[in-house]
Structure 1
Amino acid sequence: MKINVDIDCTPQEARTFLGLPDVEKMQEAVMAQLQARMMENINSLDPESMMKTWLPAGIQGMEQMQKMFLSQFGMDPTKK
């Protein structure tokens, strides 16, 4: 036997029916705070400072990966 039950309700109605707390106001406040912090960080970064921050780590990571591959193939990574 197969029984299908379709319930048409909004998320708010479902939370109320199941006895879950209404967190909509708290969620709006948290999202507003998150958006404000993100906008502060975005406004404080210009492309030049972002490249200075990201580039050294990227180059160093590439060198480490190259050394790892060379060592796996039995080559000495210090010799070129």
Structure 2
Amino acid sequence: MKINITFDMTPDEFRRLMGWPDVAEFQRELFEQMLTKMQSGEDGYDPLSLYQPMMKEGMNSMSQFQSMMFNMMSGSKPGKTEE
């Protein structure tokens, strides 16, 4: 037996239903502060240094995905070394 339930509500209505806080104003203020610091050239707030950790993780994830796909296609198991 399969039962489907559909709720027709906006994301804001869903957030309130779940009791989650509205963080839109906080995010807006935080972004404005970061933008101000980036525009003034404050140390540690240049765009490259802010996005560098995300880019590094993104590239690492791609490498892990490629390794997983290669292992699946070659029939080897993760962590198994070829002798």
Instruction: Flag the structure with higher helix content.
Output: 1
TM superposition score normalised by structure 1: 0.44
Compare CA radii of gyration and give the structure with the larger one.
1
TM superposition score normalised by structure 2: 0.43
